Amino acid sequence: MAITPVGPQAALQAYRAIEGGVLEGAGGAPAAPGADFSGALQRALGAVVDTSRQAEVGAMQAISGQGDIAAVVTAVAKAELALQTTAAVRDRVVQAYQDIMRMPI
């Protein structure tokens, strides 16, 4: 059974949440945009992995009878949205790379 996002508003909130986590620098201070691109990517991917792990832990707790079903459904929906966002960003990066490679010199 696939869980679909509620709509554009849910996607906008997810993007804002990811942006807020990605742009924080050391000590919680906002980092300058573009200051450390690879670090920003690592933090964003780490957040996606953490979201997926939380969903898995919640699902295991629900299977064992210790978890709240509503919390599990919410965690799985967040994990799915994070994965979809990651795939969309990856597709855009690949497309941009292909466009650059096609440019005449």
95 domain-assigned: yes
Residue 31 forms part of a structural domain? no
Q: How far is CA 95 from the centre of its chain?
A: 19
pLDDT value of residue 50: 92
Residue 67 domain-assigned (yes or no):
yes
pLDDT over 90 (residue 8): no
| Domain span at 42 | 36-105
Q: pTM for the whole thing? A: 0.58
Across all residues in the chain, what is the average pLDDT?
A: 78
Contact (CB, 8 A) for 78 and 55: yes
DSSP secondary structure of 37-101:
HHHHHHHHHHHHHHHHHHHHHHHHHHHTT-S-HHHHHHHHHHHHHHHHHHHHHHHHHHHHHHHHH
Top pLDDT among 23 and 89 is at 89
pLDDT of residue 88 exceeding 90:
yes
Domain count, the chain: 1
Q: Which residue has the higher pLDDT, 89 or 20?
A: 89
In a domain, 11, yes or no: no
Is 30 a residue whose pLDDT tops 70?
Answer: no
Q: 67: burial class by Cβ within 10 Å (0-12, 13-18, 19+)?
A: middle
